[in-house]
Amino acid sequence: MKKALIAMSGGVDSSVAAVLMKEKGYDPIGVTMKLYDNEDINMSKEKTCCSLSDVEDARSVAYKVGFPYYVFNFKAEFKEKVIDKFVGCYMCGMTPNPCIDCNRYLKFEELYRRAKTLGCDVIVTGHYARIRYDEATGKYQLMKGIDDLKDQSYVLYHMTQDQLAHTMFPLGEYTKDEIRKKAAETGLINANKHDSQDICFIPDGNHMKFIEEYTHKKVGKGNFLDINGKVIGQHNGYYRYTVGQRKGINVNRDGKHYVLEIRPETNEVVVGRNKDLFTEELVSTDFNWISGEAPTGEIKVSGRTRYHQPLTEGVAKVLENGDVKVSFDEPIRAITKGQSVVLYDGDVVLGGGTIKEC
């Protein structure tokens, strides 16, 4: 019997993924990744994911369905590859996506290696995405999940051919409602458990407070500038802002103002009108082509620069240094350095990278 390592968060999605793999004839092993101690992030235990209650929910599902369950300590890896990168990105004036880094470095690197050590044939997560093998090309393809409202292919663009060959996303062919129904029919304790919407290590959403407490540093006041470089107000630290933000902008000008640019080296934030936020081009770095082969010349694509953002048509071209330039057919609002651009061909994910110019 083939073994499947199930990444379990204690939520309904990963729990049903385990049930579905059991029904497919696999021998599941459930695992929850211990990513941090609550004291590390100054949060009470009941407010975070991977809490004691989440672990107990996952353990309960494993006991009911009938497979072993373990908790693995990945705190050091999570601190280095997710939290430290998150903080460093904000301090450099960019806006990170820690969920992408967690999937990339923890689930599909660290946990993937642990699965091999345990002799597992596949690693399984509760992502709403699909994997297909293309007989014509001999390549694996990452595809959107059939539930557009839950599709999570955007956060998986980093996956390699080897990882796709040894990964299964059993939820990709289902809708969320169908998954909850399956959980209820199976009698799972978490069938009606709410989905987590926040960054796991900042459940209250106050990332500025987290950064200041984590680094023990606080940047002082700086200037708001208009697009012509004129000082029109003051702020309490550039890292409190992200491109497109409106909240917290107090300037001596009438009308709504939004963040256009962040300048960490001078502690300045450039603001302007909503119309100034739209642009048609970007350059991304650290780009992963899922096929393992970068295209030559320009290719037609559709892409998004934020999670669940509507897809926009355009063209992509690989530059000499390996970076990828994307030119969209129509302007996109608030393209942000540090976020990711993910490119598609229909339902197939071509790849993605980190936005460095826009």
All residues at 6 or more sequence positions from 13 whose CB lies less than 8 Å from its CB, including other chains:
126, 127, 128, 171, 179, 195
Classify the C-alpha dihedral 140-329-172-79 as positive or negative: positive
- Is 50 one of the catalytic residues? no
Exactly one of 50, 89, 120, 200 is catalytic; name it.
200
Using alpha carbons, select from 162, 100, 173, 142 the residue that is nearest to residue 349: 142
Contact criterion met (CB below 8 Å) for 128 and 169? yes
102 is catalytic: yes
Residues in binding site = 7-14, 33, 126
Enter the tokens of residue 48: 């975070």
Annotated binding site for ATP: 7-14, 33, 126
Contact 288, 349 (CB under 8 A): no
Residue 52's H or E segment, with its range, is helix 52-65
Residue of 50, 89, 102, 120 marked active site = 102
Integer Cα distance of 309 and 151 in angstroms: 11
DSSP letter at 45 equals G
How far apart (Å, rounded) are the C-alpha atoms in residues 75 and 212? 20
Confirm if 55 and 98 have CB atoms less than 8 A apart: no
Q: Contact 328/313 with Cβ under 8 angstroms? A: yes
Among 342, 351, 243, 341, CA closest to 288: 351
Instruction: Determine the residue type at 239.
Output: Y
Coil/strand/helix, residue 251: strand
The C-alpha atoms of residue 45 and residue 49 are separated, in whole angstroms, by 9
Distance CA 29, CA 118 (A): 9
The residues annotated with a catalytic role in the active site are 102, 200
